[in-house]
């Protein structure tokens, strides 16, 4: 589920005395010690609250003598206030917090501008390869589609994801993700018309060759897809294909 593991990003502007860490990752003492050795830092920033991104944050803060951990969810903050949308100066860098809910309700991306280039740190909102899971019920497909639409506005911005390799253009990847999601929704609608009523039944139809090790993630995504389509059915008043409440 984590591809090659979680990417931890360490940023420092030229000439700056302090840097910024994005997503310290799991509680891996060796990994955290290497991050700490590259300090000091003005802040530890979190893209979302899944353990493979945030679990080591408190320990890293302690290793650094109390460096603030900042996340959208107050539960993951240490010695600092929750992140809010907007731009701020951190360690000589312009860092903009962009709410991008969908993968999780607390997901954010960070748009970083050093005066020469713009970088988008996407966490799990967009991955370096493949597609991400909408972690239903906390994750929401309608919100996720809206987040992807917003990211299509950032053309020619280098994308640095939470998993997998760097990609050249976050807007292009966001458009590809939108196309994929719409194709999946068409497949789920067909499964509904054929009588699928639960996420498990949808997975059997839409993801027939799924690896059993990641079937749970497909069930999460199918639950999000059914929720989204049921909501559209309720809004339109169309009875055909309506499912039992999830």
Domain ranges of the chain: 9-236
Helix (H) or strand (E) holding 38: none
| Res 237: pLDDT | 65
| Dihedral angle over CA of 3, 5, 7, 8, nearest 10 | 170
Cα dihedral across residues 161, 163, 165, 170: positive or negative: negative
| Res 2: pLDDT | 53
Active-site pick, 28, 52, 73, 176: 52
CA distance to 26, 30, 54, 68, 176, per residue, from 144 (Å): 25, 34, 21, 28, 14
| Res 90: pLDDT | 86
Give me Rg for the CA atoms of the chain. 19
Please calculate the CA angle 45-48-53 and round it to the nearest 5 degrees. Answer: 75
Instruction: Identify whether 176 is a catalytic site residue.
Output: no
| Res 238: pLDDT | 60
Mean pLDDT by 10 residues, the chain (246 residues): 81 92 97 96 97 97 97 97 93 94 97 90 96 90 97 95 96 97 94 92 92 91 92 70 42
CATH superfamily of this structure's domain 9-236: Ribonuclease Z/Hydroxyacylglutathione hydrolase-like (3.60.15.10)
| Res 115: pLDDT | 80
């Amino acid at each position: 589920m984590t591809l090659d593991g979680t990417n931890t990003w360490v940023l420092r502007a030229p000439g700056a005395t302090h840097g910024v860490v994005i997503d310290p990752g799991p509680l891996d003492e060796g990994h955290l010690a290497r991050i700490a050795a590259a300090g000091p830092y003005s802040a530890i920033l979190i893209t979302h609250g899944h353990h493979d991104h945030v679990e080591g944050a408190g320990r890293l803060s302690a290793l650094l003598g109390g460096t603030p951990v900042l996340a959208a969810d107050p539960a993951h903050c240490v010695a600092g206030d929750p992140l809010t949308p907007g731009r701020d100066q951190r360690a000589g860098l312009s860092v903009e917090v962009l709410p991008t809910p969908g993968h999780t309700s607390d997901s954010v991306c960070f748009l970083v501008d050093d005066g020469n280039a713009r970088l988008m740190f996407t966490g799990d909102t967009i991955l370096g390869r493949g597609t991400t899971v909408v972690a239903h019920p906390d994750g929401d497909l309608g919100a996720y589609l809206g987040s992807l639409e917003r990211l299509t506005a950032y053309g020619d911005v280098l994308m640095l994801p939470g998993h997998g390799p760097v990609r050249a253009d976050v807007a292009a990847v966001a458009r590809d993700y939108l196309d994929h999601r719409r194709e999946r929704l068409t497949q789920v609608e067909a499964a509904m018309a054929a009588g699928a009523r639960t996420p498990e039944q949808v997975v059997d139809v839409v993801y027939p060759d799924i690896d059993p090790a990641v079937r749970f993630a497909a069930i999460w995504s199918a639950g999000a897809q059914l929720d989204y389509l049921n909501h559209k059915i309720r809004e339109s008043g169309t009875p055909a294909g309506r499912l039992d409440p999830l």
